[in-house]
C-alpha cells in the first residue's frame, strides 16, 4: 500500500505500556507497513525490553488510510567510551537511542518521510542523549540522507560513521537444501557445508532435535543455557543465553505465535550445540547459536546448521530468506548467498549539549584517522610485515573476521569489550540486539 505522496507527514510520539490498545496498534502497523523485520515491530520490541534499564520510544506517522510510518528506538543510559591501545581516554554517560536500520515508511517519496521522522525524534530527545543507528544498508534512503550534508537530517544531527562498513549476510531460500548448496559461490564452500552431514554419521551417537511449540520451550531453554554457559560469548562477553534480560520472554512470545524455531545437537543425552531463530513474515532470523568448545573437533555448529536446513525443507515452512543478523564472521560469510553492505552511525542533536558530546569524539576520530594514514605511509616506505595475530582459543574462530575489521590489538576479552565493532559483532553473532545498545570505540 502506497499512501498519497501529497499527504503531509505527521510523526507523533506514542506512549507504549504493553496494553491491549498497544498490541492492537502493533498489529495494525504490521499490516499497513508490511513489516519484514521483527526489530521494527512494537509488540516484539516491547516484549524484549529490560524494564529495569531501558524503555521503548515509538514515533508513528498516521494518515486517514492507516499507519504510514514507524520508528522504534530502545533507550537506555550507557557510557560512550573511546579507547586507544587498550587505554580509555574518553568516557561520557548518555541516554542512547538505538534504532535498527532506521524508520519504516510507505510514503512516496520515502526520503522525505524518513527525514521528517528523524527530525521529529531530534525534538523529542532530552539533554545528554544521542542516537545509535545500526546496520544501515548502503544506498538506502537513510544512508543517502546521512551522507548528504544539505539534508534536513544533517541539519538536525551531527553525524559520525561508527566503525567501518561491514557485510550483512543472508541466504535466499527456495525450500531445498540441495538448491541452496548449488547457489553458493564456490565449490569449496559447498564442500565445507556438505562435510557436516558426514560428521553426523560418525561413530558418536549424534542426534538433532527440533523445538517449535510453546510446550517444548522449557527444555530448549534448559539445555540451551547449559551449552551457552560454556561459550566465549557467555564467559568473556556476558552475552550467554541466560544473561540477556528479556530474551526468555521473547523466545516464549515467539513460540506462542508459532514463530520460534530451535535446534539442539546431542551426543547421546548430552546437549553440545544449539541454534534458534524467529520467523517473521517470510524471513527466518537466525538469532542465537553456541556450542560446547569441548566438542569443537566435531564442528557442531556446522552439523547443526545443515540439519536445520534439512528440517526447514522437510517442514516446508513458508520461508524465502534466512537472515544471519548484521555484522560479520567467517561462519556467516562461508554460508551466505546474499551480501548487503551496511554501516553504523552515531547521531548527536545539534544542541549545545549534543555538540559537547560530539566534538571531542569527532576530534579523536580525526586524530585516529590521520595517525592511521601516517602509519600506513611509514609501512609502505620502510616495509613492514603483518603483525602476528594473537593466539585464539579453539572456540573463538569468529574473531578472525573481527581482526580484519579492527586490527589485532582488539582481539581478546579486554579488546572485545573496548571495541565498537566487536561489541556489535559478537553480540550479533548471538543475534543479541542488546549488544547494539552499548557500542564502544577502539582506535588502533
Task: Read off the pLDDT of each residue in 134-138 and give the average, rounded to a whole number.
Answer: 95
Residue 317 has pLDDT above 60, yes or no: yes
Asked if pLDDT for residue 308 goes beyond 80, the answer is yes
Distance CA 229, CA 241 (A): 8
Whose CA is closest to 16, among 38, 43, 53?
A: 43
Mean pLDDT of all residues in 29-55: 90
Q: What is the pLDDT of residue 23?
A: 84
Q: How many CA atoms within 13 Å lie on the side-chain side of 287? A: 27
E-assigned strand segments in 64-214? 66-84, 87-100, 104-105, 129-137, 157-161, 166-172, 206-211
How far apart CA 230 and CA 294 sit, in angstroms, is 9
What pLDDT band is residue 251 in, cutting at 50, 70 and 90?
Answer: very high
**Could you tell me which residue, 202 or 156, shows the higher pLDDT?**
156
Q: What would the mean pLDDT of 64-70 be, rounded to a whole number?
A: 91
Helix, coil or strand: residue 124:
helix
Cα angle: 398, vertex 142, 281; to 5 degrees: 65
Q: How far apart are CA 37 and CA 41, in angstroms?
A: 7
pLDDT for res 195: 66
The pLDDT tens digits of the residues spanning 348-396 come to 999 999 999 999 999 988 888 888 777 777 766 765 544 443 333 333 3
Over residues 174-182, the mean pLDDT reads: 91
pTM: 0.81
Amino acid at each position: 500500500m502506497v499512501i498519497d505522496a501529497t499527504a503531509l507527514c505527521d510523526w507523533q510520539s506514542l506512549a507504549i505500556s504493553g496494553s491491549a490498545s498497544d498490541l492492537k496498534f502493533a498489529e495494525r502497523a504490521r499490516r499497513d507497513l508490511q513489516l519484514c523485520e521483527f526489530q521494527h515491530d512494537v509488540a516484539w520490541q516491547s516484549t524484549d525490553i529490560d524494564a529495569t534499564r531501558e524503555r521503548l520510544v515509538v514515533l508513528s506517522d498516521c494518515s486517514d488510510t492507516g499507519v504510514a510510518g514507524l520508528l522504534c528506538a530502545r533507550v537506555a543510559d550507557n557510557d560512550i567510551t573511546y579507547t586507544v591501545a587498550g587505554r580509555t581516554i574518553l568516557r561520557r554517560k548518555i541516554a542512547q537511542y538505538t534504532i535498527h536500520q532506521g524508520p519504516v515508511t510507505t510514503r512516496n517519496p520515502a526520503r522525505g518521510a524518513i527525514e521528517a521522522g528523524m527530525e521529529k525524534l531530534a525534538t523529542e530527545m532530552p539533554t545528554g542523549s544521542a542516537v545509535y543507528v545500526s546496520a544501515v544498508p548502503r544506498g538506502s534512503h537513510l544512508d543517502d540522507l546521512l551522507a548528504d550534508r544539505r539534508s534536513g537530517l544533517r541539519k538536525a544531527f551531527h553525524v559520525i560513521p561508527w566503525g567501518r562498513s561491514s557485510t550483512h549476510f543472508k541466504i535466499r531460500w527456495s525450500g531445498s537444501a540441495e538448491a541452496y548448496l548449488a547457489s553458493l559461490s564456490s565449490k569449496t564452500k559447498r564442500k565445507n557445508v556438505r562435510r557436516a552431514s558426514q560428521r553426523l554419521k560418525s561413530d558418536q551417537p549424534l542426534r538433532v532435535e527440533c523445538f517449535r511449540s510453546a510446550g517444548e520451550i522449557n527444555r530448549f531453554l534448559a539445555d540451551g543455557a547449559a551449552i551457552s554457559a560454556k561459550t566465549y560469548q557467555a564467559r568473556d562477553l556476558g552475552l550467554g543465553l541466560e544473561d540477556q534480560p528479556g530474551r526468555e520472554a521473547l523466545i516464549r512470545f515467539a513460540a506462542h505465535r508459532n514463530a520460534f524455531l530451535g535446534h539442539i545437537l546431542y551426543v547421546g543425552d548430552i546437549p553440545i550445540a544449539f541454534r534458534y531463530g524467529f520467523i517473521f513474515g517470510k524471513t527466518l532470523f537466525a538469532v542465537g547459536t553456541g556450542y560446547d568448545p569441548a566438542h569443537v573437533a566435531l564442528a557442531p555448529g556446522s552439523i547443526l546448521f545443515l540439519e536445520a536446513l534439512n528440517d526447514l525443507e522437510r517442514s516446508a515452512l513458508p520461508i524465502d530468506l534466512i537472515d544471519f543478523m548484521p555484522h560479520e564472521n567467517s561462519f556467516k560469510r562461508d554460508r551466505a548467498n546474499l551480501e548487503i553492505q551496511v554501516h553504523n552511525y552515531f547521531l548527536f542533536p545539534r544542541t549545545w549539549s549534543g555538540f559537547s558530546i560530539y566534538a571531542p569524539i569527532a576530534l579523536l576520530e580525526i586524530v585516529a584517522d590521520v595517525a592511521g594514514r601516517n602509519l600506513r605511509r611509514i609501512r609502505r616506505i620502510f616495509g613492514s610485515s603483518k603483525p602476528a595475530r594473537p593466539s585464539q582459543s579453539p572456540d573463538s574462530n569468529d574473531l578472525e573476521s573481527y581482526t580484519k575489521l579492527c586490527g589485532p590489538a582488539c582481539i581478546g576479552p579486554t579488546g572485545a569489550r573496548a571495541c565498537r565493532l566487536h561489541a556489535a559483532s559478537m553480540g550479533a553473532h548471538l543475534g543479541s540486539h542488546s549488544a547494539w545498545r552499548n557500542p564502544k570505540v577502539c582506535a588502533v
